[in-house]
Structure 1
Amino acid sequence: MDTEVIAEQTIEPRVSPRWVDGLLLALAVYVVAGSLWMLTGLGGPRVTHYVGLLSDVPAQLASAVFAYAVVRHTARGTLRGAWLWLTLSLGLYFVGVAIGAVSWLRGRDPFPGPADFFFCAFYLTLGAAALYMIRAAAVRVPWVQLSLDAAIFTVGFG
């Protein structure tokens, strides 16, 4: 069996939209501000509770938007498919987090609930994204061999 791995041709990076740089800077500032808020306890325990509850929702949305921007600016092929799966995965996680936050705000424990469906779907699509990323990096690795390696890894680490 030939297990030689040949990398796919590199794709010329296209110019990223200007809004991506602005959103990345805003996300970095947001993460630092949220972290400092949580560490200092500014506003007391009640405010810190709500900041902790809601702070990850915008960050999750931004990560899904970044992944979508990569999909839009990647040429068709295996790599674009991998980023599409990752975008879908991050979108599902965002929906789950948003449903969970709304449930907590209404005073209901969201576990178990509809958010769990999105979290489970997140892990399935994230696995697909990981397989496609591996496949995009090594085009000539057969799917059967890749699946066998993944099964060995999963069984080995439980």
Structure 2
Amino acid sequence: MPQHATTPSFLERLAVLEEQVATLRRTGWERDELPFYPTSMRAMPYDDATAFTSVWESVLTPRTASLSLGLVFIGDQVSGTNTGGAWQVVLAEADTVMSGSVAATFSYQFAAQVIDLTPYRTLTELKIQIQVRRTSGVTTGGKFGGGGAIGMAPRFARLL
């Protein structure tokens, strides 16, 4: 008896395609964590400088389209005076891609953003620096003697 190859129906083909798309979407949600390292020999990543100073950094080969970065900041309190400041995230030692201020309220502040890495995909190494500076508060005493300090740490860094 001859055998006939039948063409799958439209609904069968659609079901196969839907399954493949669902698998691709699940794969796209995989994330790699990016470690950051403190740049100071001090016990905690605080800095009391009035110019931007790197307190955390990392180097990567940009193979993904974006970086989801979350940060936390807090100012110092010296003799009842709160310290405020500013922060920025710098890529390739030249491009500021995130920035903000640290209010002089002695309370935690959070920032998060997805950073586009596509302009840097041709680089073999991309340096990411998180920098802070003191903009208000006392100028003596404090954590390291130079006045109030700004503390910060990355909460998460995921390559998407």
Instruction: Quickly name the TM-score band, shorter chain normalised.
Output: under 0.3
Q: Which has the higher contact order (CA 8 A, sep 6+)?
A: 2
- Which structure shows the higher strand fraction? 2
Pick the structure with more helix per residue: 1
**What's the TM-score once normalised by structure 2's chain length?**
0.21
The TM-score, its normalising length taken from structure 1, stands at: 0.21
